[in-house]
Chain A
Amino acid sequence: MRTIGVIGTAKNTGKTTTLSFLMKGFLNKGVSLAVTGIGYDGEEVDNITLLPKPRLYFEKNTIVATSEKCLKSSEANFEIISETLAATPLGKVFIVRITKPGMIVLAGPNRMVALKEIIDFIKVKAGCDVLLVDGSLNRMSPMTILDKLVFTTGASRSVNIKKLVNEMSLIEKVFSFPLTNFQNIDNNTSVIIKIENGEIVNKKLHLDLNNFPAVDKQITTDVKALYISTLLSVQDFNDIIKRIKSRIGDNKIELIINSPVMLLLSGDFSLLSVMLERMKAVGIDLTYIQKPELSAVTINPFYPKLENYHYTPSYVDREAFENEMKSVLTSPVYNIKEGDNKKFFETVNK
């Protein structure tokens, strides 16, 4: 089963529109489809801005994983396939098959481990070809375990087009680092990887971020790679870079972290950008244990404008936004509502 997620850089960047489009595309191709979401989406009006939102319509036979209360208020008919262990503030998550088409609000597993459990449930109980996962707000951590991602960005994140382009360019860069070739890494324990007598050896790295001299001693010139399992801030990364450099000199070393999300959550994007440049300059190759492929970027010129204590729908310059994005990014960029939608679907379905 292929798993594809839609992540937003902010609320109202077009996640639901993108997801709806992908749902239609896969159904038209006769692909058996499952859909879930990591938050709460499909509501008639935005929980915060009170502006109307696009809603999710599910066709017959689609598999849906959502919470109990959403099912109770659903206008679609469904049969329950399985109750899962995951729960949200709206009750337990159930896997259902749609028997009569209609609207359903999605509120699925909201954390990484729970999403993994749901994916396994769907694989075993429903056997679908594709699982689409709707994001929520700017959240991304559960999406780490998926195969592919579509990023949505738009004026709701910022009305400064330049800023949006730079941010997306950085996200693209973060996703460009490769997976590590080293195997057998337990992703709960930080390790030093050495080659001793031609064999790869993992030694536990005692990583005390308050006591870097203790870390220093463990990094010797024969170290090939470091795997850091914990979440680091940009400042932590900078410290580690400095210390690695002082220990390995001109040798190259691989720094392995769990996923691109660890970087995207590490702090301010401008600092992150500088840190990545520094890492490259000192000869540290960044790799991941797992990462989804960044498949495409969709853009949304809409934003809720706050005027007289009410939000009103507004737009940035559509053409300028699209052109700037396309000129800077290597990933394909689409304005779903107004652009070449067919190509977008083909890109994601590759």
Chain B
Amino acid sequence: MPKKILCVPFDPVHDVGIKIIRSELDKNGHITELLSPDLSPEAVVKIASEGDYDFILVSRTLGYGVAELLARFIDLLDVAGVREKSKIVIGGKPITPELAAELGFDKGFGEHSTIEEVVAFIEGREVLAAATGLNRTKKDIASKYDYVFKHKEIGELLDSIAGKLIKWSEDKTSPGVERAKIRSEILASDNEEKRKLLFEKYYALCDDVIINGNTQKVFTKGVREVTDDELQNLNNFVNGSHPVNPVKIQHNDGQPLLFKFLGSGCPLMDIMHAKVCERYGIDGFLIINPSWEARYEGLLQGCLTHENDGTITSYENIRLMRQSLDPSTLLTVRAHRGLNTPETVLLAGEAGANLAKINLVYGSLGAGTDPVRLAVDGLEAIRLAAKYNMPFDIPGNDELSGVPAWKTLAGLLINVMLGVKLGAKPILKPLFCYGPHIVINGMMNQNFIDYNAAKILALKEIVNSPIWPGEPIAFMTQSEERVQSANANSYHASLAASLNVDAITVASTDEAYSRGPICITSRIDTIRAITDAFRFVGNAKFEATKQAEIFTEDLIKKITDTLREVNSKANLTEAINGGCLGNKEDGAYPGTFGSGTVRTK
């Protein structure tokens, strides 16, 4: 039965909400009447008492003193007898049920209410059941790409470079590769006796710190096991809470997915943050491990928390995080940093992660692992990624050391070709930031758009591969001021959307200044800023100038030159050690962890 409704905008400016609601009520067949916004409360009460309204909807913003005004209005309606025939409802951005109760209204709707909730209340029915959970499907970043190299010469050079490296590695192995094999057998075995023997073999290839941690529970400083109570509480939280009015970040399907880092050290804190971020629409996370984890041979086992940067990527931790996340949320695990690359990819695959982060070049230059060791380990890791059908993302963070963009991009492309040859699905992750080489050489003096755009345009001209700028975007453009920082992220994200990339990695607004764990509000800052930016840009674009074309052409030429130089060497490891993909002058130093550990099979 249609209801008779009086709509009262008690505010001459902020009355759009009540107009939208009125329009929806009209569509649903109700009889509405909208008063002008300049009437006194007495005049409204007179109209309300003379008409037979089922509902009186009042909209008003709040300031100090307005509460008393509304309370007096409610009193007037009460003594005029209106409350016995009409329900009085208030709506406005700051309205909560508590505030509506305090003011004496029968119902209140605020910023987080939906129009459907208002209509349902008017019609005296339950709100139409919204789907529980995030109500979204898991995205596949890589499947629509065929990895065809459009730039013929670059394709041929990469084919040669990758082919030589794979051939070179055929008779080689490392403790990292061997541990991954043993660990795979351990995970597959139910036989305690067999597992015990396998662990003995495994520990023979581990450093003491790892053996002590796993066998005697004596951990390095700041590491401890998560307690059963903590796990139970987490379980209660994850199972007992559901996202309220979850938000979608992208305004259209062409806009990139958003990834954030998790690496507070504590898997439980990471999960709490992740659940909040999921409600704000984040599409996926990257687990970032502690830097010390990379330096030891072997990995710690169990649900472990670490009172410092980086979350331990044990099988149990990855599995806990994966199980706590919504099935539609993607999870990638950093694997390439250090001596456990194949095993980390194995554990990621076994624990149900969706992607793994591998870059043979960056891992050897900016992250400290011996190029020979990482070449052998990295190839095995890519094979494992292919086995578990996990695309692998290739971060270009060596550019942050000062390596020129073309050398970094050449490195990314080498990884792409290795992935293609080994049956995996690589994802290019060029930097989208104000990198040191760019700062020094003034490529962004005119704007931040042209050079960032050129990197994407160059890669797109070379290969048909997914592109996921990071890592994170806007790096070196953020300050300690959260609004500035959120804005900087939103501009970079809008540019990424304009360039039709597949995903982006986004920092929090306090990423560079947190002086400790990142806070959740700062994470939300950038998500909300980007959501708004995506709505603002929609299907329009940030446009680069002609200079971007010049940069693109220059980058492709220099990438080709770089790859020619790499190809002139016996294999990739020699090229890295020889500085072809970043030298000491660039700020890149070949790593030494695991040096001398590769052996012939």
Q: Residues of A with Cβ closer than 8 Å to B?
A: 10-11, 38-41, 43, 47-49, 67, 69, 87-90, 107, 110-113, 136-142, 144, 188, 230-231, 233, 258-259, 261-262, 265, 267, 304, 306, 311
Contacts and interface: CB of A to CB of B under 8 A. Distances in A.
A110 B104 contact: yes
Contact of A87 (B42, B45, B83, B106): B106
Interface string B34-62: 00000000100100010000000000001
B472 to A, nearest CB: 31
Contacts of A142: 78
A237 B102 CA distance: 31
B390 interface: no
Interface residues of B, number: 31
A10 B99 CA distance: 15
Contacts of B62: 48
B42 A267 contact: yes
B438 interface: no
A188 B81 CA distance: 9
Contacts of A188: 81
Contact of B64 (A48, A230, A262): A48
A47 B99 CA distance: 7
23 contacts: A47-B102, A49-B64, A89-B98, A89-B100, A89-B101, A89-B106, A89-B108, A90-B98, A111-B84, A113-B84, A137-B67, A137-B103, A138-B71, A140-B75, A141-B74, A141-B79, A144-B79, A230-B80, A231-B45, A231-B80, A259-B79, A265-B79, A267-B42
Contact of A39 (B80, B84, B104): B104
A138 B103 CA distance: 9
A142 B64 CA distance: 23
Looking at chain B's contact residues, the main secondary structure is helix
Nearest to A234: B42
Nearest to B43: A233
A262 B79 contact: yes
Contacts of A140: 75
Given A141-B78, A261-B75, A261-B79, A90 B99 contact: no
A110 B79 contact: no
Contact of B101 (A107, A112, A258): A107
A88 B87 CA distance: 11
Given A110-B101, A139-B72, A265-B75, 5 more contacts: A47-B98, A90-B97, A90-B101, A112-B79, A304-B64
Contacts, number: 105
A41 B33 CA distance: 34
Contacts of A43: 98
Interface in B94-143: 96-108
A258 B81 CA distance: 12
Given A43-B98, A90-B97, A141-B78, A111 B72 contact: no
A15 B31 CA distance: 41
Contact of A138 (B72, B76, B108): B72
Interface in B334-350: none
Contacts of A67: 101
Given A111-B104, A231-B45, A138 B68 contact: yes
B83 A111 contact: yes
Looking at chain A's contact residues, the main secondary structure is loop
Given A110-B105, A113-B83, A137-B67, A89 B97 contact: yes
A265 B74 CA distance: 11
A90 B104 CA distance: 11
Contacts of B81: 188
Given A47-B96, A48-B62, A139 B71 contact: yes
Nearest to A236: B42
A89 B68 contact: no
A280 to B, nearest CB: 23
For B62, B74, B75, B97, the residue with the greatest tally of chain A CB atoms inside 10 Å of its CB is: B75
A141 B102 CA distance: 14
A111 B71 CA distance: 11
A141 B75 contact: yes
Given A112-B79, A231-B76, A40 B105 contact: no
B40 to A, nearest CB: 9
B101 A39 contact: yes
A139 B75 contact: yes
A112 B82 CA distance: 11
A142 B104 CA distance: 10
A107 B106 CA distance: 12
A188 B49 CA distance: 13
B108 to A, nearest CB: 5
B72 A41 contact: no
Nearest to A157: B68
A39 B102 contact: yes
A90 B42 CA distance: 27
A265 B76 contact: yes
For B49, B72, B101, the residue with the greatest tally of chain A CB atoms inside 10 Å of its CB is: B101
For B45, B62, B80, B102, the residue with the greatest tally of chain A CB atoms inside 10 Å of its CB is: B102
Contacts of B78: 111-112, 141-142
Which 10 residue pairs across A and B have the least CB separation, nearest first? A141-B78, A40-B102, A40-B101, A137-B71, A141-B75, A89-B100, A89-B97, A110-B104, A39-B102, A139-B71
Contacts of B99: 40, 47-48
Nearest to A114: B83
A233 B43 CA distance: 10
A176 to B, nearest CB: 20
Contacts of B102: 39-41, 47, 107, 136-137
B104 A136 contact: yes
A44 B288 CA distance: 39
B64 A139 contact: no
Contacts of B68: 10-11, 137-138
A29 B534 CA distance: 65
Nearest to B70: A137
Nearest to B105: A89
A11 B81 CA distance: 25
Nearest to A66: B101
Nearest to A105: B98
A48 B67 contact: yes
A49 B64 CA distance: 8
A231 B107 contact: no
A265 B75 CA distance: 8
A69 B97 contact: yes
Contact of B71 (A87, A136, A262): A136
Contacts of B108: 89
Interface string B511-541: 0000000000000000000000000000000
A110 B105 CA distance: 7
Contacts of A138: 68, 71-72
Interface string B425-461: 0000000000000000000000000000000000000
Contacts of A47: 96, 98-99, 102
Nearest to B104: A110
For A67, A87, A113, A139, the residue with the greatest tally of chain B CB atoms inside 10 Å of its CB is: A139
Contacts of B76: 141, 231, 265
B132 to A, nearest CB: 21
Contacts of B64: 48-49, 304, 306, 311
Contacts of A49: 64
A110 B102 CA distance: 9
Contacts of B97: 69, 89-90
A265 B72 contact: yes
A258 B79 contact: yes
Contact of B104 (A113, A139, A262, A311): A139
A139 B83 CA distance: 14
Contacts of B67: 11, 48, 137
For A40, A144, A231, A233, the residue with the greatest tally of chain B CB atoms inside 10 Å of its CB is: A231
